[in-house]
Homo-oligomer: A and B are copies of this chain.
């Protein structure tokens, strides 16, 4: 190696634009998450929102000098849907997208309403050529390797051709973010044979089978979501969102039942005390992994959607995820896959 010629250090990428007004615990927990991401992981953050509220929240935690603020006077409420994003061009999420579009931020993070974030992202950021609809990818905590589930709620009414695109989006994500080589794709449906499911799933099965650019492994069912049989699980945004929330609710239910059961017996209670710290650890791990955030794929910039109930730790995790993804070539990878799609699989 010629160490005499030293390359200039790569320029630091611009900061993460964090929508400080989105989420059940905004702005306080969002600001706390920003501080955590900056202090503990050195991730540069810009908070986007109402300056007065943000200065106050930053000051409370002695961080007024650490995190810059970009003004956005409007806010999308958690119960507002896609239409509100059209009506509020100066909402915190819209301004965050604008910063990325202008090159002043690397990626967007928001814990706002999924419908609002998706609609604003589609409106304010450019889509990748040929991608008809975006999809939200979630990483499920399967062992030994995690599984990508998409769409977790961006496109509730999908067409079969869109599911094929989602398969490519998920494959690109598994390749870049998880380092998976030639990822195995499964289609979420009911029944394990090709001819089973609703009309959407049956037609998607045919199209997925006929795409030489995909390693399609066939159908998977609801109970396969957490067994790690495939690398990417594809479904429409309605089914994916129901499945994801059912999963969260069921794990919570199982632990609650366990606590009750342990509480009923004195002997078991003693055992429970001994295990308590382990259980807490496990709970934290399942939580962190499940709630790290969904990634909106199909746009030319990274948008991470944190759980609406995200508190500081989850917000910080979402910023870490966005920072990590922003440096990767996932957009190029998706573009290449779209260019190679069979003609027959195109809707446009």
Q: Which residues of A contact B (CB under 8 A)?
A: 79, 81, 114-115, 153, 156-157, 188-193, 195-199, 201, 221-227, 235-239, 241-255, 257-258, 261-262, 264-265, 267-268, 270-275, 277-279, 281-282, 286
- Least CB distance, A45 to chain B, in whole angstroms: 28
A248-B222 contact, Cβ under 8 Å, with A190-B153, A201-B238, A279-B261: yes
A268-B258 contact, Cβ under 8 Å, with A201-B238, A223-B246, A238-B190: no
User: How far apart sit A115 and B224, CA to CA, in the bound complex (Å)?
Assistant: 20
Q: A282 touching B253 by the CB < 8 A rule?
A: no
* CB<8 Å pairs between A and B, sample of 11: A79-B192, A114-B191, A189-B242, A190-B238, A201-B238, A222-B243, A223-B248, A238-B239, A246-B250, A254-B255, A271-B274
- Least CB distance, A116 to chain B, in whole angstroms: 11
Contacts of A274 in B (CB 8 A): 267-268, 270-271, 274
Q: A249 touching B270 by the CB < 8 A rule?
A: no
Q: B278 touching A261 by the CB < 8 A rule?
A: yes
Contact of A250 among B226, B236, B272, B275 (CB under 8 A): B226
Q: B226 touching A249 by the CB < 8 A rule?
A: yes
Contacts of A224 in B (CB 8 A): 249
Contacts of A81 in B (CB 8 A): 191, 193, 195-196
Q: Which of A153, A252, A257: most chain B Cβ within 10 A?
A: A257
A254-B249 contact, Cβ under 8 Å, with A242-B221, A268-B278, A271-B273: no
Q: A258 touching B279 by the CB < 8 A rule?
A: yes
Q: B271 touching A241 by the CB < 8 A rule?
A: no
Q: B239 touching A242 by the CB < 8 A rule?
A: yes
Q: B156 touching A190 by the CB < 8 A rule?
A: yes
